[in-house]
Structure 1
Amino acid sequence: MNHPSPRDVVNRQLEVYNAHDIEGYCALFAPEATISDLVTGQMICNGLDDIRDVYTMRFAENPGLRCTVHQRLEAPTHAIDKETVYGLPAGPLHIMAIYEVREGLIRSLKFIRWTD
C-alpha cells in the first residue's frame, strides 16, 4: 500500500489546524499517538481521545489561533518544522515540531517551544 509522505500528512495537518477542523485534525493521528514537550519530557496528549479533548478546547478558547511554517525538513518517517503559532493570549509561540509519520498517520509529535 502506498501511503502519503510525512510532508503530505504534515501539510494536511497544518491546513486543518488553521481551519480549526477538529475532525480533520484527529483523522491524521494514530489512535495511540502521543504529543509531548521534548525539553521537559512532559506528556501533553496520550492517545487520540486526549488529542481531541486538548485541541477542541484550544480551538474554542483561541479563535484567532493559526500556525505558520517557516522551514521544513523531511526524512522517510519524519517531518521537522520550524513554526510560529499566533493567536495565543501570551503572544506568538515559536516551535520546532518533530512529527513521526508512519503508514500515513502521525504517531508522535514532539515540541521544543519558546517565546520572544
Structure 2
Amino acid sequence: MTAEDSTPKAVVQRQVEAYNQGDIDEFVTCYDEQASVVDLAQNEILAEDSTEIRAHFVELFDTVPDLQCEVRDKFQVGEYVALHEHVTAMGESRDALAVYQVQNGLIQGLWLGEP
C-alpha cells in the first residue's frame, strides 16, 4: 500500500467500495484489529474488534445482498472522515452519517448515525 492509499479519505473510500461489493475480506482489511463500530442512534456498540466487525457485516451482507451506499458528501478533519451517505436496501433508502477515525492506514473507529 502506498502512502497515498493509506490517507484517511482513501482508506474510507476503499471500505465503501468493499461494502458496496459485499466483499467482506476487503472490507475487514480496512479496519484495525482493535477497531470498534458504534450505532449513535441506538447508543449501542455493534462491534469491539475486527472479528466482531466481520461477524456483524457478514450477517448484514448475507441478509441484505442489494445493500448499496452512495456517498453524497465527504469531508476530512485530521484523522477523521465524515460521510453523508444515502443507503439503499430492499427497495428502501435512507440518509445516514458515518464518521471514521483513521490512523496508520486503518480505521480505528466508526460511528454511525441516522435520523
Q: TM-score, normalised by structure 1?
A: 0.90
CA–CA separation in structure 2 for the residues paired with 1:10 and 1:80: 9
Paired-residue identity, % = 26
Aligned to 1:19: 21
How far 1:41 moved relative to its partner?
A: 2.5
| Structure number having the greater helix percentage | 2
Q: TM-score, normalised by structure 2?
A: 0.91
Which letter maps to 1:110?
W
Q: What residue ranges of structure 2 are gaps of 5+ in the alignment?
A: none
Instruction: Say how many residue pairs are matched.
Output: 113
Q: Which runs of structure 2 are paired with 1:1-80 in the superposition (5 Å)?
A: 2=3, 4-80=6-82
Q: What residue ranges of structure 1 are gaps of 5+ in the alignment?
A: none
1:5/1:76 contact within 8 Å kept:
no
Q: Which runs of structure 1 show a deviation greater than 2 angstroms over 4 or more consecutive aligned residues?
A: 38-41
Q: Which runs of structure 2 are paired with 1:78-97 in the superposition (5 Å)?
A: 78-88=80-90, 91-97=92-98
Cα root mean square deviation, aligned: 1.7
How far 1:39 moved relative to its partner?
A: 3.9
Q: Give CA deviations for 1:55-77 in whole Å, capped at 9, x if unaligned.
A: 11111111110100000011220
